[in-house]
Structure 1
Amino acid sequence: MRHTADLPAGADGFDTSRLAGVLRDWDEPDVVGHRVVHGGTGFTGPVRIDDVVRERLHDLTGLAPLHQPKSLAALDAVTGQFPGIAAVACFDTAFHATIPEAAATYAVPREWRDRYAIRRYGFHGLSHGYCSRRAAELLDRPQAGLRVVSCHLGAGASLAAVVDGRSVDTTMGFTPLEGLVMATRSGTVDPGLVLWLEEHEHLSPHEVATALEQRSGLTALAGTGDMREVEAAADRGDTDAALALDVYTHRLVGGIGAMAAATGGMDVLVFTGGVGEHSSAVRRRAVERLRFLGAAIDLDRNDTVRDDQDITAAGADVRTLVITAREDLQIAREARGIVTAERSR
């Protein structure tokens, strides 16, 4: 089984001109798994795609206008090449469908919540789901009773609080803009600031949204969204880069503390994603400030970590793991589960 992230992307999100050539080299799959960013409130797990599901996914475009059209273009292109093969949609939001109402509900007028399905959806669910399960495997423990805080740190970044293998809270919200400082996204800002900018600077909602999505985060603070460049500049004494690291760490540590409160304590802290896997400095800076929760790392192992590894310091109460992001394996697992269930009926 393969999924669409392995296929060539073009300017429109999917290069159909190269698709046929790529697929000619494959054996015919049993099932094709598609990563779909948004499942709304209706899709809380993987689902076999048919015409009705395809239309419902299209109807969710308003909730994810940047991502949903690309997912649908990929779906249509691959289905065109494999019209008789089962296609399964796997959602970035689905893992967080289990968070309780207290965590999911925004304190905004009921008519908004009811009319527009406004709630905390959360994202990166495929990554958080995989990491929480992989953490249990690495520690040779059942997921039942295990309290995990998962840190997906990449260009986009979010945290998840996971208990018994189920998400109970997360930092991204109605959109992927909420939460941590990211490469080009601001993360959480005072909503009053948005209103102030629109009123006093006469900025349109589109202009504000573009700035918060594309010109904020590390890019706004340090001039680059690449954490490697930020760290190198900070090491050279660049004060803007040093501030960017401090802001990034402050928001990250605060978020981890909030997730640990949601889980009622923390047994495992997981770092994944491009930054989470490859920045020993970000891991060190964060964990140094989490000693009050019982976390500590072995600095030598932190500096030399490869693949999936336990970097916990001797005597620490919280286990700290670095796990390679493998959303592809999570998609494969979910898609296979759908097909297996259908065959057993």
Structure 2
Amino acid sequence: MSNSFVLVINSGSSSLKFAVIDSLTGDAIVSGLGECFGLPEAVISWKFNGEKTEEAISAPDNHHQHAINRIVDLIESLGFTSDLVAVGHRIVHGGEKFTSTVRIDDKVLAEIESLSDLAPLHNPAGAIGIQAAMVAFPSLPQFAVFDTAFHQTMPQKAFTGAISNELYTQYGIRRYGFHGTSHYFVSREAAKMLNKPVEECSFISVHLGNGASVCAIENGESVDTSMGFTPLSGLMMGTRCGDLDPGIIEFLLKKGWSQEQVFEALNKKSGFLGVSGLTSDARGVLEAMETGHEGAKLAFEVFTYRVAKYIGSYLIPLSSLDAVIFTGGIGENALPIRREILKNLKLLGFVEDEKGNEDARFGNAGVIAKSDMLGAVAVVIPTNEEFVIAQQSVELL
């Protein structure tokens, strides 16, 4: 076995995803998920050689540490502990402090924790994952890869909110953007597909999944993105509302809603789930549309319309366009959604390649449309954030 394996950890508040990635090929040697932490039904499952195994987490508390200990045992039993060269952690928020991947020490860990106000659900969980991994792998270097880092190249006019400057200087309120690792990866892959240096490419990257965001990329760098201070803004998502008049928050508070109720509604009961009244899953929405469900049809229309509107508006920060890139679980697989978005882009000259669009699914990349008017194509590229985390960890070694 080559000595290029990196354990990639994505630690959530009640879950922990992991994978052992070959940093040369991007292949996941083993991958898994610990979930329902804090509940009696906490489990850990993993896939190896196409076989899935699941077992209960029996520890009464500290499920993150227990899950990582179980991962250590698993890696040892599969015989590639000696092939691990690093542990890479996905950290959601790096604020303005972190503009690239960093090696983790006590100071970096403290700074990740200090940014918890900006990502209260994610950064504390990321820190717990780091601490557990440091205990489990004391001799391995650990690296942090930040979702926000790729967007730190945005110009001030793109990240500045039209609010009092004191709110920025005092609290750091500005556009940060997320999904940066995904937008970074697919833009590099798109440049290879077009046989151009990424530094000479301009893209609109469209990451569509349960969370969704659009990113304008000029000369390989992020110049604008739809998510903002938090991952709540921008596109409609699985359960998140996306862009919304902030006056609605005041309106609901005056109607007697609590702060918790308002933000529960906007974060967990909106998006596909809220509009369809049925499900947060795009597949469920598409299936219900087939049976004539009106809420599902409306959710489909709102989502595809908003995505197309963002794509159109993101021509503004670019000097030219090489490609619109679709990625993420929906972007890679949901043919009717891509088809409708392309229809909404007809004024930009995009003409769908129907066979190309049908073929570019389930892990397959490909060109799905082109616009002679813009001299651009629309492509599908499967994302691989774990590969980026593994690669950047190894590069920093």
Query: Which TM-score applies when normalising by structure 1?
Result: 0.94
Which residue of structure 2 lines up, in the alignment, with residue 209 of structure 1?
263
Distance 1:254 1:17, change over 3 A: same
Match for residue 18 of structure 1?
A: 70
Aligned to 1:334: 392
Counterpart amino acid of 2:71?
L
**2:371–2:377 contact (8 Å) kept in structure 1:** no
Partner of 1:343: none
Deviation at 1:314, TM superposition (A): 8.6
Q: Which amino acid aligns with 2:33?
A: P
Once the two structures are overlaid, the 10-residue window that deviates more, 306-315 or 295-304, is 306-315
Q: Which has the higher helix share?
A: 1
- Asked if structure 1 preserves the Cα contact closer than 8 Å seen for 2:116 and 2:124, the reply is yes
Q: 1:329 is matched by which residue type in structure 2?
A: F
Conserved in 1, the CA contact under 8 Å of 2:182 and 2:207? yes
Contact 1:8 1:18 (C-alpha < 8 Å) held by counterparts:
no
Answering whether residue 7 of structure 2 is matched by residue 2 of structure 1, we say: yes
What residue identity is the alignment partner of 2:258?
Answer: S
More divergent stretch after superposition (284-293 vs 3-12): 3-12
**Structure 1 position 315, deviation (Å):** 5.3
Counterpart of 2:143 (choices 88, 96, 107) is 88
Task: Judge conservation of contact 2:177–2:225 (CA < 8 Å) in 1.
Answer: yes
Q: Distance in 1 between matches of 2:387 and 2:300?
A: 32
Identity %: 38
For 1:272-311, list aligned pairs within 5 A. 272-306=327-361, 307-311=364-368
Larger strand proportion of the pair: 2
1:24-35 alignment to 2 at 5 Å?
A: 24=76, 25=78, 26-28=80-82, 29-35=84-90
CA distance in 2, matches of 1:73, 1:207: 27
Q: 1:333 to 1:17 in 2, by over 3 A?
A: closer
Task: State the secondary structure of the residue aligned to 1:141.
Answer: coil
- Is the Cα–Cα contact under 8 Å of residues 8 and 19 in structure 1 kept in the other structure? no
Which amino acid in the other structure matches residue 2 of structure 1? Answer: L
Residue 240 of structure 1: how far off its partner (Å): 1.0
Q: Deviations over 1:121-173 (max 9, x none)?
A: 00000000001011001111111221100000000000000011100000000
| Long gaps (5+) in structure 1 | 340-345
CA contact (8 A) 1:296 1:318 kept: no
Mapped to 2, the partners of 1:20 and 1:144 lie a distance apart of: 40
C-alpha spacing 1:313/1:163, structure 2 compared with 1 (3 Å)? closer
RMSD: 1.5
Report the Cα offset of residue 195 of structure 1: 0.9
Deviation track 1:267-308 (CA, whole Å, cap 9, x = no partner) reads: 201000000000011111011121322322201221222422
Quote how far apart the aligned CAs of 1:311 are.
2.0
SS of the residue corresponding to residue 159 of structure 1 reads strand
Change (3 A) 1:150 1:171: same
Structure 1 runs of 4+ off > 6 angstroms? none
> How much has 1:330 moved relative to structure 2?
1.1
Matched positions, count: 338
- Taking the aligned partners of 2:256 and 2:69, their CA distance within structure 1 comes to 43
> Is 1:180 paired with 2:235?
yes
Residue 117 of structure 1, CA deviation: 0.6
* SS of corresponding position for 2:251: helix
Q: 1:61 offset after TM fit, Å?
A: 0.9
Contact 1:46 1:91 in 2 (8 A): yes
Unmatched 5+ residue regions in structure 2?
1-5, 10-16, 19-31, 38-62
Which has the larger displacement, 202-211 or 122-131? 202-211
C-alpha displacement of 1:17: 5.0
Cα distance in 2 between the residues matched to 1:235 and 1:265: 38
SS at match of 2:388: helix
> Take 1:208 and 1:265, find their aligned partners in 2: how far apart are those partners?
40
